[in-house]
């Protein structure tokens, strides 16, 4: 194994006094006899008081890097240092200095111990003096809002609460360096927001250095510096806003009467780098500033369009970076469905279209109708009197905190859980009276991958087709069609456990579509999947809904995915508190509590400390400070006065609410209304 010493690291970073807190140089890590590369020549630096994000999908190599730096995994070649200590030579010395939070919802916790007992266990493990411990514990409990739950076993906490308890246990000895491995994966947006508030407060107050990994591109914009990873390699790095600016592309959202035709058209233009359906919009990224989009659309006889500019994000940077020749992954055009795929699908002569017409029930226009649907587990109400109707061919998204009742609601609609009260009609069937025939009308893709990992792709599909009673001839034709349509033919004989996560998700979708369902239920279908695979997945969903009238109900934690939906339902404590289009919900939230006020400054930490007492809801978002304001002009004027002495040139402005801010605004208003 080849290593480099501490002294051989890049001297351009400065003297010992200015050495980075974390330094990685040409790091390599391989697994197994086939020497599968998990980390392939990675190099980066993390300075004191910086939040550095390693971004990428599952399998990109992020966890291997974190584990090497935490001293729990060896490397094959290269160098890795934390606080000047060589992680490869002296891993035990590193462990005493860091706070390390492994991947998984509270994976470092003991489920049988209470919240208080878990914290006490880590105090003893870290040998923290009692006086220091209790002061720090009380502050952390207050920050995480876990004080009322000290006696609750960790095994009975929601996912978000488990992660916040895991963070307390990681911070109990007040480390100056935090290594956090996907700390918010599977956590709802409210808990993610709380989590980030804690991290930013620690950075602003104590200059804690944070290295974290994530597959959420939107939340990575909260980091000061990022490195985008794919297949063990860095494909781009820098400040998020700098990377977005350097991309030099313009994001445009188009609306017209025929969005699928528009999508097929624009993705053939060389000036358009990627294009995807978002609800009724086609969003495209134009890389040529001289390209006249209006003229091109009129030349193609599309004149009924409207357009608006969209701010680009790190997801666009990731897709752009992957499409560069040195990073290309050889995928289909811009992550969309190939021309030979679903875009040209019609009902064929063998009756093997991807879906069949929804049954006409008491209301032929609607595929799903519920009235006062309720589910209780003992004294706990998981779903509380939910009434909604979903039109045929509509895509409806369910968003809510962990434990809000989304999965329970979906399971009741699938006939997997009996309602305690109320009624539900799905595809014309009463779910409590016709569970058996209902299962032939619905496709269900669960939160966890449920196929047999030790079977090849083809065998998994044949097994499921048999369970649905498909005749042998129909079964073969149906599987062949789905493998072709979903670009899975090349993986037909591969063991399922060897598939990349994005391919595995498409296989799960193929399984859900085998019996031509008229309604598709998707429970967090793209968690951990890379942006290109997610875009391809959503294009398939859109075309199923638009071309074949499949009704889709989906739960998700990705805020950008919410905009793929025709309507969104916000859930909290089992209740459906809002249901409307994404645009209408954003307008309602802004009318009620105002837009965002944003402050940008190089000296963001001092600005944040100055503004926070006056604006208690202000949050750090990377190097930006922001809060929702009912009086934006007054708040901006006061912010300028407060910062006049320390940041006179700070950029202070207002901007519309993002989908995440809209979601948080609704849930906050609902909680305040209950008080």
pLDDT in tens, 326-365: 765 544 433 333 333 344 333 333 333 444 544 444 456 8
Q: Looking at the domain assignment, is residue 404 inside a domain?
A: yes
- Scanning 79-158, the segments in alpha helix (DSSP H) are 91-95, 115-126, 130-144
Where does a domain end: 236, 263, 286? 236
Q: What pLDDT does 528 receive? A: 65
Do 441 and 319 fall within a single domain?
no
Q: Are residues 402 and 256 in the same domain?
A: no
Judge whether 10 lies within some domain. Answer: yes
Q: What is the 3-state secondary structure (H, E, C) of 211-271?
A: EEEECCHHHHCCCCEEEEEECCEEEEEECHHHHHHHHCCEEEEEECCCHHHHHHHHCCCCC
Q: Is 426 inside any structural domain?
A: yes
Answer yes or no: is pLDDT of 654 > 90: yes
* Residues 38/64, Cβ–Cβ less than 8 Å: yes
* Whether residue 135 is found in the same domain as residue 283: no
CB 60 within 8 A of CB 103: no
Residues 320 and 385 reside in one and the same domain: no
Query: How does pLDDT run across 415-430, given as a tens digit for each residue?
Result: 999 999 999 999 999 9
Domain annotation covers residue 357 = no
Q: 570 and 660, same structural domain?
A: no
What pLDDT, on the 0 to 100 scale, is given for residue 653?
96
Domain coverage including residue 403: 366-575
Residues 506 and 417 reside in one and the same domain: yes
Mean local confidence (pLDDT), 585-610: 92
* pLDDT tens for each residue of 16-31: 446 899 999 999 999 8
pLDDT of residue 87: 94
Residues 182 and 321 in one domain: no
Q: How many helices (H) and strands (E) does the chain have?
A: 22, 28
- Out of 315, 336, 357, a domain closes at 336
**Does residue 475 share a domain with residue 543?**
yes
- Which residues is 301 bridged to in the sheet? none
Question: What CATH number should be reported for the domain holding residue 656?
Answer: 3.30.70
- Give, in order, the Cα–Cα distances in Å from 458 to each of 261, 352, 492, 507, 619: 32, 18, 5, 10, 49
Same domain, 553 and 633: no
C-alpha distances in Å from residue 352, one per residue of 442, 507, 540: 16, 18, 17
Q: Return the top range by mean pLDDT from 461-475, 481-495, 563-577, 661-675.
A: 563-577
Residue-level pLDDT at 637: 97
Selected residue with higher pLDDT from 343 and 290: 290
| Pair 33, 91 in one domain | yes
CA-closest candidate to residue 45, choices 81, 3, 87, 86:
81
> Tell me, what CATH number does 188's domain have?
3.40.50.300
Q: Are residues 120 and 194 in the same domain?
A: yes
202, 236, 270 - which closes a domain: 236
Per-residue confidence (pLDDT) for residue 357, from 0 to 100:
44
In a domain, 352, yes or no: no
pLDDT band at 582 (very low <50, low <70, confident <90, very high): very high
Give the pLDDT score at 364.
Answer: 64
Distance CA 535, CA 336 (A): 6
What local confidence, expressed as pLDDT, does residue 254 receive? Answer: 93
- Does residue 207 belong to any structural domain of this protein? yes
pLDDT in tens, 119-159: 999 999 888 888 778 878 888 888 788 899 999 999 988 77
| Mean residue pLDDT across the chain | 85
User: pTM for the whole thing?
Assistant: 0.79
**H-run or E-run covering 162:** helix 159-171
In angstroms, the Cα distances linking 39 to 26, 166, 209, 264, 610 are 9, 27, 22, 37, 41
Mean pLDDT of 287-292: 86
Total number of domains in the chain? 4
pLDDT for res 421: 96
Mark whether 329 and 414 lie in a shared domain: no
**CA distances in angstroms from 631 to 55, 510, 591, 627, 656, listed in the order given:** 36, 50, 11, 11, 14
């Amino acid at each position: 194994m080849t290593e480099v010493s501490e002294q051989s690291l890049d001297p351009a970073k400065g003297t010992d006094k200015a050495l980075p807190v974390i330094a990685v140089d040409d790091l390599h890590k391989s697994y197994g006899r086939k020497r599968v590369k998990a980390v392939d020549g990675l190099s980066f630096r993390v300075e004191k008081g910086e939040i550095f994000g390693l971004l990428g999908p599952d399998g990109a190599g992020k966890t291997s890097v974190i584990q090497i730096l935490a001293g729990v995994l060896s490397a094959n070649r290269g160098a890795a240092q934390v606080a000047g200590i060589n992680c490869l030579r002296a891993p035990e010395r590193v462990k005493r200095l860091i706070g390390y939070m492994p991947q998984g919802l509270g994976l470092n916790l003991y489920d049988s111990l209470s919240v208080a007992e878990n914290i006490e266990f880590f105090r003893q493990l870290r040998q923290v003096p009692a006086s220091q411990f209790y002061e720090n514990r009380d502050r952390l409990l207050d920050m995480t809002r876990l004080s009322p739950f000290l006696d609750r076993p960790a095994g009975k906490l929601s996912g978000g609460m488990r992660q916040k308890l895991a963070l307390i246990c990681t911070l109990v000895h007040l480390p100056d360096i935090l290594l956090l491995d996907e700390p918010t994966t599977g956590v709802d947006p409210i808990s993610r927001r709380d989590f980030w508030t804690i991290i930013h407060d620690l950075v602003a107050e104590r200059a804690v250095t944070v290295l974290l990994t994530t597959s959420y591109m939107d939340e990575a914009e909260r980091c000061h510096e990022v490195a985008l990873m794919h297949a063990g390699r860095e494909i781009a790095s820098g400040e998020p806003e700098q990377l977005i600016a350097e991309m030099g592309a313009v994001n445009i959202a188009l609306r017209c009467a025929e969005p699928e035709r528009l999508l097929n058209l624009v993705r053939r233009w060389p000036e358009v780098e990627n294009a995807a359906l978002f609800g009724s919009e086609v969003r495209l990224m134009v890389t040529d500033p001289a390209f006249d989009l209006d003229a091109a659309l009129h030349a193609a006889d599309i004149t009924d369009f409207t357009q608006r500019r969209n701010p680009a994000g790190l997801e666009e940077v990731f897709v752009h970076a992957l499409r560069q020749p040195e990073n290309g992954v050889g995928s289909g055009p811009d992550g969309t469905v190939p021309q030979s795929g679903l875009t040209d699908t019609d009902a064929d002569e063998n009756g093997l279209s991807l879906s069949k017409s929804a049954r006409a029930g008491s209301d032929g226009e609607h595929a799903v109708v519920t009235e006062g649907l309720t589910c209780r587990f003992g004294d706990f109400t998981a779903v509380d009197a939910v009434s909604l109707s979903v039109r045929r061919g509509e895509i409806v998204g369910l968003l809510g905190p962990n434990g809000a009742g989304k999965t329970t609601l979906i399971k009741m609609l699938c006939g997997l859980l009996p309602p305690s009260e109320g009624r539900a009609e799905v595809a014309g069937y009463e779910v409590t009276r016709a569970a058996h025939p209902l299962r032939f009308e619905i496709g269900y893709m669960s939160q966890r991958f449920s196929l047999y990992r030790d079977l090849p792709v083809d065998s998994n599909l044949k097994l499921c087709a048999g369970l649905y009673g498909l005749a042998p001839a129909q079964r073969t034709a149906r599987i062949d069609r789905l493998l072709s349509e979903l670009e899975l033919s090349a993986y037909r004989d591969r063991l399922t456990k060897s598939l990349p996560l994005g391919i595995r998700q498409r296989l799960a979708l193929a399984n859900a579509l085998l019996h031509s369902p008229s309604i598709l239920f998707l429970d967090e279908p793209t968690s951990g999947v890379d942006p290109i695979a997610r875009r391809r997945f959503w294009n398939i969903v859109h075309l199923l809904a638009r071309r074949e009238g499949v009704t889709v109900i989906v739960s998700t934690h990705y805020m950008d995915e919410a905009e793929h939906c025709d309507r969104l339902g916000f859930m909290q404590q089992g209740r459906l508190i809002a249901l409307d289009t994404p645009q209408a919900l954003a307008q309602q939230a802004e009318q009620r509590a105002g837009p965002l006020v944003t402050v940008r400054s190089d000296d963001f930490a001092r600005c944040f400390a100055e503004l926070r007492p006056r604006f208690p809801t202000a949050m750090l978002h990377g190097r930006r400070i922001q809060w929702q304001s009912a009086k934006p002009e007054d708040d901006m004027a006061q912010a300028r006065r407060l910062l006049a002495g320390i940041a006179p040139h700070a950029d202070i402005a207002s901007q519309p609410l993002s989908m995440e801010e809209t979601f948080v605004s609704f849930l906050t208003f609902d909680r305040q209304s209950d008080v």
